[in-house]
Structure 1
């Protein structure tokens, strides 16, 4: 690995000669591979796997080698997510500071590693808004959150400045800001090619603009989580110091064991409670994190006027009727309701848009209305089904749901590994002769994989076209969980 000379000089001065030499050796080694288990879907039998725990993440594990994730049906079913171990440290903020239900924003969320993690550990009854500014990346974010299967999620596609329209709306905001990517050198050679001191200058200024845009959306007393995947103090400590001085924020410290070998403030002098992951000390890539609390004297704590407006608008829409009310019959709504678990019907409401039926938290209806008035919402809750002609077709999101789908409402058919791969390629599936006609939920190792419609001589594959495995061959050696 040929590191830029200016990076070597800067980092050597920052760490000192002895520490830098250890750091440089670590960068020449293969990066560790880590995953995070979705325990709402899959209770992994630890006796079947020799996995080493990620100390700061409740469901994080290191793998001995990289698997062929693309060809693992459990990966596509949302049973686990491939995530860099150091970035799982975000969990510690929520474990130590989020004790009650919150409304949280993951501002720079694609492809979804931190969002799926946050959704697993947020207190029950919380709402997560996951945002991505780039349109095609927001679709990848929505896909990964759909596979993860939690219903209390909204996906938006907006610039950070758009959130200025939502003052004092969020209890917690994660800003995993775009950075110079020094912590990605081992994983991505392009990161080395694109690095420069000029880019570092551009990045720290862009990061401050993002924080300035989003700060007003944080409630007084709320928490901002600031993180990067870089080492330099311009994008890390110096920006945290700027946030504190610019907005009067309170830095929050974390109670962490010394054996985790997490590095603190690299600037010296005043020791800020910030957290660096250096590859020669911790098993992971470069990661930096700090948490800051917004002072309570900072304006209102709730967006009362907009929420009232949304209620009035909702009543007006109900009186006037909506296009979807004519496209979706009461019979189809009844069918969709029958697909849901009976014990959640008081907590979730069925909403309609054009030909689609979704289930969304009754508790956060007003908040969703406010978001739709001010932002580009591309997904909210769990899509239950879509009307085509007279039929209601069950949505793939319903199959992926961990808490919405009623067990036993669809006939299930267990498939082999080969059949699962055919399905995930959106190829034809042949079911057993005993399989009834109609919609059937395929399972692999008893985990829902998705729907088909059995029409007798064949089964129509309902896997989303844009999510299919595009490779037409299988590797000679397949390694899966």
Structure 2
């Protein structure tokens, strides 16, 4: 692989850079890794060597066809690059509080870091996963649904929209849009499109994003900043920029020598950052830093208004849920959702300010004869385990995911969850002579299933 000379020249100034091993690593195969769901992981037999900085992260010996694994569709694991899982170690090292947090994943698509964070939070914490690009927000929402956490909401807003939330968030994670040099091994387009001008453009964009969301962070709150770029202009130089603009400090984390991660310090303010160089760490290019806000911030007062009477909806849809500590809301005229009771005031505030793709757990809507359950319920960790379900074979599961005839011998009439290895995949409605597949059409597998 012919790496750009200007990038190599910049990296020669960076602590821990070994040009020989770096060049060699870019001619070697990419490692595939996944992160197991803390609750659903029993639904898969996928296995491999443990990733040392992530609980549930594993390296795979070879890359399977994930599309043809029903356990992937049921959320038993998430396909995520190993280096980016280091967020978990940074989180555990720098976020002492475990309850009642408000967290923003600002540039969240496709969802790797959001699903990781959701796994670390308690039920009374709230995670807002935001993506400004609508097409990418669709992918983000699908992955959040698969992961199944009610306290993970999805918005589609520009970072500047969060400026008005003074001191609202305890933690803001910014996996910033970048020039993508850390992805050269995985994506030839990233190498083809890389230019020095784009590095400068991305650096300016990263500064704007940080400035936009800074007011929304509490005093002593954390910004966890990350890129998949090697360029110092997008990494250490950004740390110096934020130290120039605001009163901050970085929070160092402990690392082990055998991990191969390089701790660096920014040139001017000596802010801590952590770099992943292929050839040293077992993963792709990555940079991350934890930045603490050391200046006062306005405090947003949450005024809780009287909630609408949802007793009728609870009577109709309550059977779907195993968690009684949920509040019912109506995000639009045609559907109903469940949120944690602790987040009712948050919903009353945020619905006026942001465009929501998903708030809490969509439950569906009533019809003339029964309740039509939302697809999300079938994959939710808060779903009632006593809901009618049909356990299917791998072949039947794939046919369901292609919206084809599963050849079910018999099924009780009514709504049924299709399950594979006890993982919910979606709903069917069994009628007298047939079963209607209610998998959303945009979730359908489009590739051919090999004959077995």
Task: Please give the range of the TM-score, normalised by the shorter of the 2 chains.
Answer: over 0.9
The corresponding residue for 1:440 is 416
Structure 2's unaligned 5+ residue stretches are: none
1:460 aligns with 2:439: no
* Number of matched pairs: 449
Aligned positions of 1:21-420 closer than 5 A: 21-43=20-42, 51-98=48-95, 99-101=97-99, 102-265=101-264, 271-295=270-294, 297-300=295-298, 302-304=299-301, 307-308=302-303, 311-312=304-305, 314=306, 318=308, 330=312, 333-341=314-322, 344-345=323-324, 347-352=325-330, 353-402=332-381, 404-410=382-388, 412-420=389-397
Looking at structure 2, the residues matched to 10 and 243 of structure 1 have their Cα atoms a distance apart, in angstroms, of 21
Match of 2:98, SS state, is coil
Looking at structure 2, the residues matched to 218 and 64 of structure 1 have their Cα atoms a distance apart, in angstroms, of 41
Q: Per the alignment, do residues 270 and 335 of structure 1 end up closer, same or farther by CA in structure 2, a change over 3 Å counting?
A: closer
Measured after TM superposition, the shift of residue 124 of structure 1 is 4.5
Structure 1's unaligned 5+ residue stretches are: none
Measured after TM superposition, the shift of residue 456 of structure 1 is 2.4
Measured after TM superposition, the shift of residue 11 of structure 1 is 3.1
Looking at structure 2, the residues matched to 79 and 111 of structure 1 have their Cα atoms a distance apart, in angstroms, of 17
Looking at structure 2, the residues matched to 288 and 221 of structure 1 have their Cα atoms a distance apart, in angstroms, of 22
Does the 8 Å CA contact 1:429/1:461 hold for their aligned counterparts? no
Does the 8 Å CA contact 2:326/2:338 hold for their aligned counterparts? yes
Deviations 1:212-271 (Å, cap 9, x if unpaired)?
000000011100001000111110001011112211111101122222121021666864
Looking at structure 1, the residues matched to 171 and 257 of structure 2 have their Cα atoms a distance apart, in angstroms, of 27
Deviations 1:368-422 (Å, cap 9, x if unpaired)?
22111111112111112223444311111111011x2112232x21111111111
Does the 8 Å CA contact 1:151/1:360 hold for their aligned counterparts? yes
Looking at structure 2, the residues matched to 153 and 34 of structure 1 have their Cα atoms a distance apart, in angstroms, of 23
Match of 1:374, SS state, is coil
Does the 8 Å CA contact 2:167/2:216 hold for their aligned counterparts? yes
Looking at structure 2, the residues matched to 363 and 33 of structure 1 have their Cα atoms a distance apart, in angstroms, of 38
Q: 363-372 vs 279-288, which deviates more?
A: 363-372
Measured after TM superposition, the shift of residue 126 of structure 1 is 1.2
Q: Per the alignment, do residues 418 and 43 of structure 1 end up closer, same or farther by CA in structure 2, a change over 3 Å counting?
A: closer
The corresponding residue for 1:10 is 10
Measured after TM superposition, the shift of residue 14 of structure 1 is 4.2
Q: 2:406 aligns with which of 429, 436, 443?
A: 429
